[in-house]
Structure formats: C-alpha cells, structure tokens
Structure 1
Amino acid sequence: MRLEDAIFNWLQIKLVEEGRPDDNAARETVAFFEQVLREDHGLELFAIGNVDDTMYHVNYVKEGKKKTRMIDRESAEQLLVDINANPKYNE
C-alpha cells in the first residue's frame, strides 16, 4: 500500500472512530492502519492537524522530518457519511 493511500485510509477511519466512539470495528481498523503507517512506512508520529473548509492537513514525522499531507475534506468524510446513512450500521 502506498503511503498516500495508507494516510488517506487512516484519516477516513479515524474520522469514523471519532464520529462513532462506540464502534469497536472502527477502533480496531484505526489500530491496523496506525500499524501500517509505523511498520511499513516508518512514520514516527501522525495526527490530524488543521482542518479548513476544503482540506484536512495530516501532519507526520518520517526519518525525523516533519511533513504534511493535505486531503480533500469531502473525500475524507465520505466513509463516515456513508456509514451513518446506512440503517444496518445505526441500530
């Protein structure tokens, strides 16, 4: 999995976890992507930084260098929107 994809997937499921604090599957999936980011891509730290009207800024540290990946807000939030719109996930 490419770093860009891993960061995007982590951000999407992180937003689901934050929006659905009782969702154990989301919590487990966040842990999986955090492991991928650490072990496969060597990220030391990663976190959601600034959020504006159009973008999420994901800050991370790789090889001691601070970096930021900007991700379209609508795309990042789409998984949470889809889950919340599906009645079988909201019982």
Structure 2
Amino acid sequence: MQYLQDTLYNWLTIKVVCEARPDDTAARDTRLLFEQMLREKHQAVILGVQKEEPFYYVEYFVNQEEKTARFPIELIDVMLGQIEAEPEKYMNYEE
C-alpha cells in the first residue's frame, strides 16, 4: 500500500525531472502515473509547488481540506542529479 506522503514525494521527484527534461517521455509517463494515483487512490489534487530553501512545499487538497507537505530539496533533487551526472544511462527513447 502506498501512502499519500510517499506518492507526493515520488510525484514531486519526477516532476522536477520533467521540468529539467521536457522531452523525456519516460519521465512524463511516470509523472502522469503518479498524478493518476494522487487523484484516484488518494483523492488528492495538487494546488501548487514552491521551492524555498531548504524545502519544496507541495500544497494540495484532500478530504475537503487544503494541506501542505514539505520535502528537503536535496532529497527531491537526487534523481535529477543522478541523471545529469550520468546522462548516458538515462537516454530518451522515442515512442
């Protein structure tokens, strides 16, 4: 069972990758998967994301409440850092 906090973390991590690599189809598809999970499994809607040292803040709506989750920037940016350090391992393959 995946918890809402885990789904938000995974979604934000891949969202950061998608923003840095807009042509990365695998990243886009993965982001869409997590967005679907947020909607269907958790009934959550993302309202916005802010990056303010040392955190990313994700504002979302769930259970008729507006909430905020925070994640350390260094934790969220790890995947993008790995991709940028070894781009040959993360090539984009056209559909």
Global fold match (TM > 0.5): yes
**Distance apart, 1:87 and its partner CA:** 3.2
Separation in 2 of the partners of 1:87 and 1:31? 22
Give the alignment's Cα RMSD to 1 decimal. Answer: 1.4
Q: Secondary structure at 2:77's aligned position in 1?
A: helix
Task: Give the TM-score, by structure 1 length.
Answer: 0.91
Task: Give the TM-score, by structure 2 length.
Answer: 0.88
- Paired residue total: 90
Instruction: Indicate conservation of the 8 Å contact 1:17/1:27, yes or no.
Output: yes
Please name the residue that 2:71 is paired with.
Answer: 71
Please name the residue that 2:46 is paired with.
Answer: 46
Please name the residue that 1:55 is paired with.
Answer: 55
Q: Please list every run of at least 4 consecutive aligned residues from structure 1 whose deviation after the TM superposition is greater than 2 angstroms.
A: 47-50
Structure 1's unaligned 5+ residue stretches are none
Instruction: Return closer, same or farther for 1:74/1:83 CA change in 2, 3 Å cut-off.
Output: same
